[in-house]
Structure 1
Amino acid sequence: MNAPSPGFTLGPNSYGKSGVRLVRVDRDTPRHAIRDLTVHTALSGDLDATHYSGDNTGVLPTDTQKNTVYALARDGVGAVEAFAERLARHFVDTTPSITHARVRIEEHPWTRVGDHSFTRGEGGERRTAEAAYGGAGAAVTAGIRDLLLLNTTDSEFTGFLVNEFTTLPETDDRILATAVAADWDYTTAPADYDQAFQSARAALLEAFADTYSLSLQQTLYAVGERILKTVPEAGEVRLSLPNRHHYLLDLGRFGLDNPGVVFQAGDLPYGLIEGAVRREAP
């Protein structure tokens, strides 16, 4: 194996297969079920040789990683968190050169319209899961992406810092809209990953709906706290909430008033509120 040049060394590294598209159809009964996943793998371990000299004897090809996803799906997927963990454990436990694996999954939901018929719009909400395994227990994270939420009232933004560059007016009644990205780490595995996910999602929706929002930061904390109260196995919730601005349109130039009914939906730029809510150590 070639050695690194003096003064240089290899830092943290990983490699894997991204964007593995998997559709798994359950045909056990005439009422079929469908799972539509995008899987991403990342492996690390004793891989200095391939970086320093191109010695690939310890490299499990990314194409093999892709094929492993399909092969393990043959026996079923189950909860995406459990499937991610099963894949991560498989890569580490069966490949001597690999000491750590991280598997991330996004699930694209289909809505049933018949026993074997489904519909799904492009984009939209996705369930996510990630499992990291290094031989001493798996770390599992669940989450949601692109969950669109909107309150038409019960939101204001006043009392903020003002300086010479401030043009934003205060408002005591505004539309609050966002596309939620949320992740929560499990400190212990729930008895049922699917049920825990549904409970966390319901808590998120309830907190958004029944919190009178004085800021999107306040809403973020209320959502994270509600998830932790509802799902005792979760230890931390991380949230990213872009502010999908809706601007009250001035219709005065048309000789019309606008009693808070016509808005222009903004695109770029947008405010981005991010933060974590953690369970305090006992």
Structure 2
Amino acid sequence: MSIVLGPFQYGKAETRLVRIRRDTPRHGITDLNVSIALQGDFAAAYLEGDQRTVLPTDTQKNTAYVWAKKMDPDPIEAYGLSLARHFVDDVEPVSGARIEIQRYDWTRVPVDGSDHDHTFVRSGQEVRTAAVTVEPSAFHVVQGFTDLIVLKSTGSHFKDFLVDGYTTLQPTDDRIMATSLTARWRLTDPAADVDWNAMYAGVKTVMLETYATLDSYALQQTLWHMARAAMEAYPAIAEMRLEAPNKHHFLVDFSRFDESNENEVFHADDRPYGLIHASAVRDDAAPAGAAWSAYTGLV
């Protein structure tokens, strides 16, 4: 009995790319996770380690990026068809290509009754949270949310930072700023008739409007202004704490492909990431007690 090579394919899985359309002041966003699988004359690679017909998976990743610049990847079906046809028609050993695409939808942040031009919230949005602590002398209600994913495609800087011998990051006056925000705010001895749903919606609205409209020089600065704006709008809040991982979007280097990339196509990198914590508290606020610190993870 002989053993023969069975069916096979290979490719690049989960290329995360974000395409920003900047042809008008009102930006557009298409956020994709692209997986590629190629079929063709690759048996020698499996049987003998002969790579002469193998298109590297890194090349496939780069092609997905460039194709997102060459054509608008919305709709994703047209983008996928064009990308697959390129591999089959232009890469000689390839006889078949399968492109799987996940699209993450975003909606615009409303500011002053209209949609903002370049700030977005991931559809599906956040998980609302609440915690109630009753103690002998007081009680606390903590409202909040996790996983509120927001992105602004301009209006964010990062420069003039501390530099040492290991620093490689370049300063910038125009970057994507995105995060998955966790926020919690504490009310001490709240009124019995407080409208919790209205307060939650109002606090979130104030924070998102601040995120959208602030000319940001750091995520730290943005978090502080978001917390302060919410507390100014809602005097019942004694304290607010925020946690924000910096969801990095790195501009793809197109110079190797003889193409320009004017802040349009980005690699969405999930890790490692900066993790920023911030808090704001009223001078006259009652102490939170151990329960609050344990709940928020901050002391």
The answer to whether the 8 A contact 1:188-1:234 is kept is: no
Q: CA deviation digits over 1:102-151, x for unaligned, max 9? A: xxxxxxxxxxxxxxxxxxx9974111000111344321110010001100
TM-score (norm 1): 0.55
Tell me what 1:242 maps to.
Answer: 245
The answer to whether the 8 A contact 1:208-1:223 is kept is: yes
Whole-angstrom CA distance in 2 between matches of 1:213 and 1:122:
23
Give yes or no for the alignment of 1:279 onto 2:287.
no
Q: Secondary structure, in 3 states, of the residue corresponding to 1:150?
A: strand
Identity over the aligned pairs, expressed in percent?
38
Give yes or no for the alignment of 1:177 onto 2:178.
yes
TM-score (norm 2): 0.52
With 245-254 and 186-195 compared, the bigger mean Cα shift is at 186-195
Structure 1 alignment gaps of length 5 or more: 1-120
Structure 2 alignment gaps of length 5 or more: 1-121, 286-299
Q: Secondary structure, in 3 states, of the residue corresponding to 1:197?
A: helix
Q: 2:261 aligns with which of 239, 244, 258?
A: 258
| Change in 2 beyond 3 A, CA 1:132/1:159 | same
Could you tell me which amino acid in structure 2 is paired with residue 185 of structure 1? R
> Relative contact order: is structure 1 or structure 2 higher (C-alpha 8 Å, sep ≥ 6)?
2
| Change in 2 beyond 3 A, CA 1:170/1:250 | same
Could you tell me which amino acid in structure 2 is paired with residue 145 of structure 1? T
Whole-angstrom CA distance in 2 between matches of 1:122 and 1:178:
14
Give yes or no for the alignment of 1:155 onto 2:156.
yes
Tell me what 1:229 maps to.
Answer: 232
Q: Secondary structure, in 3 states, of the residue corresponding to 1:162?
A: coil
Q: How many residues align?
A: 162
Q: Secondary structure, in 3 states, of the residue corresponding to 2:278?
A: strand
Q: Give runs of aligned pairs for residues 52-201 of structure 1, distance below 5 A.
A: 124-190=125-191, 191-201=194-204
Tell me what 2:22 maps to.
Answer: none
Could you tell me which amino acid in structure 2 is paired with residue 234 of structure 1? I
Q: CA deviation digits over 1:179-213, x for unaligned, max 9? A: 10000000241521111111111111111011110
Whole-angstrom CA distance in 1 between matches of 2:210 and 2:280:
14
Runs (4+) of structure 1 exceeding 3 A deviation are 121-124
Whole-angstrom CA distance in 1 between matches of 2:123 and 2:163:
41
Could you tell me which amino acid in structure 1 is paired with residue 244 of structure 2? L
Tell me what 2:208 maps to.
Answer: 205
The answer to whether the 8 A contact 2:138-2:188 is kept is: no
The answer to whether the 8 A contact 1:188-1:233 is kept is: no
Could you tell me which amino acid in structure 2 is paired with residue 244 of structure 1? K
Could you tell me which amino acid in structure 1 is paired with residue 261 of structure 2? N
- Alpha-carbon RMSD: 1.8
Whole-angstrom CA distance in 1 between matches of 2:201 and 2:231:
13
Whole-angstrom CA distance in 2 between matches of 1:141 and 1:147:
17
Could you tell me which amino acid in structure 2 is paired with residue 224 of structure 1? A
Whole-angstrom CA distance in 2 between matches of 1:238 and 1:199:
17
Tell me what 2:34 maps to.
Answer: none
Whole-angstrom CA distance in 2 between matches of 1:133 and 1:281:
20
Whole-angstrom CA distance in 1 between matches of 2:125 and 2:204:
15
Tell me what 2:270 maps to.
Answer: 267
